[in-house]
Structure 1
Amino acid sequence: MQTANDIVLEKIYNAPIALVWAAITDEQHMRNWYFDFKGQFQLNVGQTFDWHAGDLKDKQWLHRGEMLEIIPNKKLVHTWTYPGYSGKAIAYWELSEADAQTTKLKFRFEFAEPFDANEPALVRGNFVNGWNELILNSLEQYLNKQ
């Protein structure tokens, strides 16, 4: 259930749904605009995957996710946690075809359990900035080059 605290972004891309799906689920595509999962990102419900990301001049954070729901070319749902810290989010990626060459992405980042309040890097504003950059800029730029 969506709450006011969730981060919700919607974007229409000038790309067919199969390409957008590949960009959000295939490591060969993902490493060019998102993160490098080093072979761990597999589309199997229950599959866990780890990756490191963060400000290059600051801490590199260990992230962990678990696949919750996969409907090819339509929906991807996975958790988002930081081992060693409290809190959990759930990322929802929902695709719909506007027409044969355009795809709508509705992205929602649900704060299911509050992240560690003693860690300034895990405040909501940092997630807002990060997801805005990834969904509204990085993914679009990547798709436009394909």
Structure 2
Amino acid sequence: MQPIRMERIYNAKVKKVWQAITDNNQMKQWYFDIAEFKPEVGFEFQFTGEGKDGEKYIHLCKVVEVIKEKKLTYSWRYDGFEGNSFVTFELSAEGEETKLKLTHTGLETFPTNNPDFAKESFTEGWNYITGTSLKQFVES
């Protein structure tokens, strides 16, 4: 399975987008209700997400790479399910704007018999998160 790759341009400076993806209080406003987050390699965090039919999934994540204001990567897996994937946010300045490149790899390691773990489901989620939720947050 090919990884998910998306690019977005935000009318906001890199510093503002970086804060949005790494500051716990800001993340709660556009991403998920994460109790604690630090952009430090080895930092583990979790949050609960919802499936299409309202199922609750506990996401278990661990920061694996941080290059301040440039790159953030963390593992993304589900409590009680096989599989492990990696989410990477890469930022670059485009004049006064910021280009975000999001990559989500390893989706093929999740159970194939659960539609919530289908690539289309992740694509839909990331489209909303990067194209609507984060965009509105950093451009407001």
For the superposition of Structure 1 and Structure 2, which TM-score range results when normalised by the shorter chain? over 0.9
Q: Does 1:127 align with 2:135?
A: no
How big is the shift at 1:119? Answer: 2.1
Spell out, residue by residue over 1:30-70, the C-alpha distance to the aligned partner (whole angstroms, 9 max, x if none): 1111011112x112211111110114861121001111000
Distance in structure 2 (CA, Å) of the matches to 1:121 and 1:114: 13
Structure 1 gap segments, 5+ residues each? none
Structure 2 gap segments, 5+ residues each? none
Match of 2:67 in 1: 71
Distance in structure 1 (CA, Å) of the matches to 2:5 and 2:34: 24
Match of 2:105 in 1: 110
Where in structure 2 are the equivalents of 1:1-146 lying within 5 Å? Answer: 5-39=2-36, 41-55=37-51, 58-99=54-95, 101-111=96-106, 114-145=109-140
Asked if the contact 2:57/2:79 (under 8 Å) is kept, the reply is: no
Asked if the contact 2:52/2:116 (under 8 Å) is kept, the reply is: no
Distance in structure 2 (CA, Å) of the matches to 1:112 and 1:38: 25
Asked if the contact 2:20/2:27 (under 8 Å) is kept, the reply is: yes
Runs of 4+ in structure 1 deviating by more than 6 angstroms, as ranges, are none
Between 53-62 and 107-116, the greater mean CA deviation after superposition: 53-62
Distance in structure 2 (CA, Å) of the matches to 1:47 and 1:144: 28
Matched residue of 2:78: which SS? coil
Which residue identity lines up with residue 112 of structure 2 in the other structure?
Answer: A
Between 54-63 and 127-136, the greater mean CA deviation after superposition: 54-63
How big is the shift at 1:6? Answer: 0.6
Distance in structure 2 (CA, Å) of the matches to 1:71 and 1:127: 25
Q: Count how many residue pairs are aligned between Structure 1 and Structure 2.
A: 140
Q: Which has the higher helix share?
A: 2
Which residue identity lines up with residue 17 of structure 2 in the other structure?
Answer: V
RMSD over aligned CA atoms reads: 1.5
Cα distance change on mapping 1:55 and 1:86 into 2, 3 Å = closer
Distance in structure 2 (CA, Å) of the matches to 1:15 and 1:115: 34
